[in-house]
Amino acid sequence: MYFNNQIWAILWKNMKMTNHKELGKELFIPFITVFVLLMVQKDDNGTGGLFMAIMVPVYIPSCFVGLCRQLLVEYVHEKTNKYRDLYKIMGMKLQNYRIAWFITYIIKSVIIGSLILLTILYKLEFKASLEVLLCFMLFIMAQIGQTLLLSTFFSNSQLAGEFGSFFQTILSTFYFASLYKLEFLVYVCPQSIISYYLMNILKDSSNTEAFYYCVISLFIHLILYYLFFNFLEDQFIIGGKCLWKRNNKTGYVQFVDNMEVISNGGEEGLAFTSVEIVKLFKQYGDVLAIENLNLKIYSQQILCILGQNGAGKTTTLNILTGLIEKTSGKILYFGKNFDKKRDEIQKLIGFCPQENLLYDQLTVKESLQYQCMMRGSELVSEIEMWLNLMQLQQYSNYKTYELSGGNKRKLQIALALVGGSQIIFLDEPTASIDPESRRQIWKILKEIKQINKTLILTTHFLDEAEELADRIAIMKQGSIKIYGSPENIKKELEVGFTLTFGNIQSSQQQSQIKQMFNELDCSSGSKLEYDNIKYILNQNQLFSIVEKLNELNKIDNIKINLIQNTLEAAYLKLNKDNLEDDKIINEYSFPIKSTNDVKTKQLLQISALLYKKYYILKRNFTLQLMLILPMLILLFAYIFGQHLLTSEDQTQFFVSLFISQSFSLNSSIFINTPILERELKIRQQLKQMGMSQFTYIFATFLGDYIIIFIVTSFIYVLSLQVNMSLESEQLLIILSLFGLSIISFSYTASFMFSSNQSAFKIFPVINFLFCYFLPSMVDLQLQNQYSELFAYLFPLYTLNLALQNKNQDQDYYIYFLVQFVLFMFLYQILEKHLILFENRKNLQDSSNNKLQIQNIQFGYIQNKQVLKQIDLQLSSQKILTLLGPNGAGKTTLIQLITDCLKSKWGSIMYNKNMIISSCQQCEGLWEDLTAEEILYLFARIKGSIRYVKNEISQILRTLSIKGKIVNMSGGQRRKVALAISLIGESGMIILDEPSNGLDPISRRNLQNMIKSHVQKRNSSIILTTHDMDEAQYLSDSISFIINGQQPFPQQSSAQLIEQYGSGILLSIRAKNKEALDQVILAFPQHQREGLLIVIKLGNEYDVPTTIKILKNLCQEDLIGTFTIKQANLEQVFLRQCRRQYDED
């Protein structure tokens, strides 16, 4: 039953996910094939008969190429983006998964193929219907099996789709081996088998021999494909198992930490062990990824695993969930060996990945229903329970792509919980969401813990670990270096407290304070900062100076401030060897020099775009395929034209036909660049960096024309071997001018598409169908009435006329030149109005301001304002931070500043010639290039001429980035996007969540680099972030945006904290009820929750008095732990966020 539930669930999901528009697009080729089959009579020996004999055998199997491409793309996408792994972790059987995909595409293929099947049966007058139906069904199943087999060789979905289309199209041509008396080659693949059978049956419906050969060969293909597919899938998933073992001792330290007593079912005792890891090792070749890992994880507790990128966290999670095999060791779940009881245990595991793996065409409720179906427990009550607990009830009918970032994370966590999960793995559960949403999720996770669940999470937010974790394990180089509760880790690492004496008026007071606390100098050190003296000391040292603090408190002007250091301080102390030394950051030189000469800068920008085109064509197999495929088709046409066609007119017709078809495929290369660069926001980026429209179009066009010249040269060489009515030199001129028109036509047509992938797949078909085939058919039926009009509008149609040279007096050169001028004019107009509009006005202010925004308002729809009366200014060498919850309008404001959206009200003013660089959330990166190549290109685009290589090497070394973009993690890509904004000279830099996805060490290094850049260059920065510590560390001024409005003017973080913060808070946890009564007597002004009381320090409880009370309570053994938290920016943020949530 479990088997059937999973197949049905996946089949249900796949059909729900079907895009009906995409499925409709796959009907293009079937319609053409049906049209030809119906139009051509059985005894037609003319052009129609030749078209039927040569094109239909290719078109029949090609009707399914689009669907097979879709299967390849979707299947490889789920594999490479970890959808399959996610559900495998949670108990999905891989065999069920494969069968469900197989059935899905049988159903889709039957829908698409029914047109062809019915047409063929109609042509046969419905004779031999069962035989034709059987062969057709076997062909469909064999081709799907072949497609699934192809999927095992790919990890890039787009590459898989393009190669699969090419490969299966080429296989169709094996049909023509029968014309050379090589029938055995026909049976090499299903495509040629079905074509051979159908063409024979159309000639002679009583041909039973062809039927038997077809059935037997297709059945053999089906069995072989499916067997090989399963074998290769299993090999790639399981991989080899290394038996190498090692028994070295490590530096693992487990602190003595009393386990809390947990009441369960009326029995009291220690929490039972949910997961136990014993002597775990994992080795990749010579690299030891996990070394002697020993750990116990307890029920009703949260374990947080911390560590830098590469420390072994992800490897550990992958081993614990069964995604990869361990080298040695033992893993026990509830006392059961994971190796022996894997299927049983995986039904109890839930997993929430770092990135949201949601099916965008499913609703929230359907997503939960799908997960329940996968686990065989589709209980409406359970779905409703998790919707309520996750606060998603009101969004239950929303498609997942319509949810906010915070609600997407809630749904992803809910998917890990439904279906009876007992052990929940959470990989950075609050990544990329605002602090208020994070706190909502924290509250939910605490509630989940109480219903007998075990939670294991990783995070880069140390305040999150401190808030949630009962136990923390800090990993380094594959082993656990520290394990214990957050309080004990801080205690053992002696991060202690920070005691600050502020508002010191004179050097005499400084000396007096240092003399009074001279015993602290050697043990903890002191630091003099302007009018402050700061000490870091532990609890014993703090209690030892109580009397001296009381004496110092009598001096009126001295401000005494005490803060308890956080887990982040402990983490940074443990990993201090990975922090960039201040000296290295300070000596970061940025020696680059840029040109101010307009012509020199244009030449640099043109060369950069040509280099980019070269690198992409050199490495992108898909583009190479689109370049090579037309030439192969032409070669195919040449062979048939020379050897199978007797008439010169027939040869001329088919060579012209195939040249038109090859260029229609070739056009996907030209439409690719403008769409992709608009989609990735690279086009807007280039404009902000000072690249003119003329420079961009000229360089892009030149690169594409070089590509089409390669094809043109091939055709020219081939034409020397074919007897055509055109002279070779005349042909060369026609093809050269055609290149101008087809590229400009493709650029203009690019505005029909919003997605590069859909254009790449659909545009060649549209180009051939609507710009060649249909005009030719209409022209034929209406006896050339509209021939001249079509010749001015459609490049492929004009090319076909010119190649056949039907009207020898006609000068086709004029048509191509008119098309080139027309389409290039249209492209420039469309780009200028839709993409290159300008919101900026020139800043006339002679002050030091770089940017001034006045009364900006914006709305996506009428009566729905996203931004309302925003006023900002940014001075030279300053950092302005925009803060607000998700959906507040920060990204919209940035898009208005960078001209990605068109403003309607208000003004955005900055210097017209100022270069603006931006690092936005969707990084615009050419994936086929390396980080070094991208930085080199952008340096040239910004006009850099000297010391470029020196600066690139400095940035790459400081940010620790290398390799091709396509192979990089999200964090690495983030660093590259940041490096692009920092390379060269920029007047203003916009950083939209630049540290998102980075671990604390990388984040701190990056922050130091940003500060250094501002200090050493005449640059200013606009920053958005959800990390309040980052905002406080970097910002010169801060502006909150709440529901599209500024609740108060921009000001410094210190001013905001002073005006809107909550002051210093002391939290004390009493040891028991009796002790709590004593603590309350000491602090009557308090807030209470269980054994925890919270006191706001102020006039009544100053620092010396508070420390003295705490010392007495500790000596009397009345309190377990206490924390002191300073007013910070996060308190201000949360208070403001609640306004937006209340209004929503």
In this predicted model, which residue has the larger pLDDT, 271 or 660? Answer: 660
Is residue 779 very low, low, confident or very high in pLDDT (cuts 50, 70, 90)? Answer: low
Residue 1143: per-residue pLDDT = 54
CATH number of domain containing 1093 = 3.30.70
The DSSP output letter for 770 is: I
Residue 9: per-residue pLDDT = 92
- Is 15 in the same domain as 41? yes
The DSSP output letter for 914 is: -
Which of 991, 1021, 1047 represents a domain boundary (last residue)?
1047
In this predicted model, which residue has the larger pLDDT, 713 or 587? Answer: 713
Task: Give the span between the Cα atoms of 858 and 244, in whole angstroms.
Answer: 62
Structure tokens at 841: 């006005």
1053 in a structural domain: no
Indicate whether 108 pLDDT > 70.
yes
Is residue 190 very low, low, confident or very high in pLDDT (cuts 50, 70, 90)? Answer: very high
- Is 670 in the same domain as 558? no
Mean pLDDT of 329-352: 90
1132 in a structural domain: no
- Is 686 in the same domain as 550? no
Parent domain of 947: 840-1047
Residue 589: per-residue pLDDT = 54
pLDDT tens for each residue of 1070-1105: 888 888 888 888 888 777 877 888 887 765 667 788
Is residue 969 very low, low, confident or very high in pLDDT (cuts 50, 70, 90)? Answer: low
- Is 200 in the same domain as 81? yes
Indicate whether 222 pLDDT > 90.
yes
Residue-averaged pLDDT of the chain: 80
In this predicted model, which residue has the larger pLDDT, 177 or 1041? Answer: 1041
Residues 6+ apart with CB under 8 A from 58: 169, 172, 173, 175, 195
Is residue 833 very low, low, confident or very high in pLDDT (cuts 50, 70, 90)? Answer: confident
- Is 1072 in the same domain as 976? no
Indicate whether 645 pLDDT > 60.
no
H/E stretch holding 918: strand 916-919
Listing DSSP states for 598-635 in one string gives: HHHHHHHHHHHHHHHHHHHHHH-HHHHHHHHHHHHHHH
- Is 821 in the same domain as 848? no
Which of 564, 581, 599 represents a domain boundary (last residue)?
564
Task: Give the span between the Cα atoms of 80 and 405, in whole angstroms.
Answer: 22
- Is 681 in the same domain as 731? yes
Is residue 249 very low, low, confident or very high in pLDDT (cuts 50, 70, 90)? Answer: very low
In angstroms, the first-to-last Cα distance of the chain is: 45
778 in a structural domain: yes
Is residue 846 very low, low, confident or very high in pLDDT (cuts 50, 70, 90)? Answer: low
Q: Which whole-number Å values give the CA distances from 115 to 41, 102, 979, in the listed order?
A: 19, 21, 54
Q: What is the pTM of this model?
A: 0.76
Residue 716: per-residue pLDDT = 78
Residue 650: per-residue pLDDT = 62
1134 in a structural domain: no
pLDDT tens for each residue of 807-821: 555 677 888 999 999
Indicate whether 989 pLDDT > 70.
yes
Mean pLDDT of 53-60: 70
pLDDT tens for each residue of 355-381: 888 998 899 999 999 998 888 776 778
- Is 1024 in the same domain as 1120? no
- Is 877 in the same domain as 857? yes
Indicate whether 1118 pLDDT > 80.
yes
pLDDT tens for each residue of 426-463: 988 887 777 778 888 888 888 888 888 899 998 888 88
78 in a structural domain: yes
Task: Give the span between the Cα atoms of 896 and 882, in whole angstroms.
Answer: 14
- Is 890 in the same domain as 761? no
Burial-class residue 267 by CB neighbours within 10 Å (0-12, 13-18, 19+). Answer: exposed
Percent of the chain with pLDDT over 70: 84
CATH number of domain containing 978 = 3.40.50.300
CATH number of domain containing 550 = 3.30.70.260
342 in a structural domain: no
pLDDT tens for each residue of 1102-1113: 778 888 888 888
651 in a structural domain: yes
Mean pLDDT of 888-916: 83
Pick the range with the lowest mean pLDDT from 64-68, 306-310, 643-647, 776-780.
643-647
Q: How many domains in the chain?
A: 5
Task: Give the span between the Cα atoms of 168 and 154, in whole angstroms.
Answer: 15
By the 8 A CB rule, do 893 and 873 touch?
A: no
Residue 862: per-residue pLDDT = 61
Pick the range with the lowest mean pLDDT from 183-187, 502-506, 547-551.
502-506
User: What crossing angle do the helices spanning 405-417 and 435-449 adopt, rounded to 10°?
Assistant: 10
Is residue 248 very low, low, confident or very high in pLDDT (cuts 50, 70, 90)? Answer: very low
- Is 715 in the same domain as 730? yes
Indicate whether 522 pLDDT > 60.
no
Which of 834, 866, 890 represents a domain boundary (last residue)?
834
Residue 524: per-residue pLDDT = 38
Burial-class residue 1002 by CB neighbours within 10 Å (0-12, 13-18, 19+). Answer: buried
By the 8 A CB rule, do 492 and 482 touch?
A: yes
- Is 24 in the same domain as 106? yes
Structure tokens at 537: 């000391």
Mean pLDDT of 551-562: 74
Percent of the chain with pLDDT over 90: 15
Residue 260: per-residue pLDDT = 38
Indicate whether 880 pLDDT > 90.
yes
Indicate whether 1 pLDDT > 60.
no
Residue 363: per-residue pLDDT = 93
Indicate whether 276 pLDDT > 80.
yes
Residue 8: per-residue pLDDT = 92
96 in a structural domain: yes
H/E stretch holding 19: none
Tokens 């007013």 — which residue?
1127
Structure tokens at 582: 């201040």
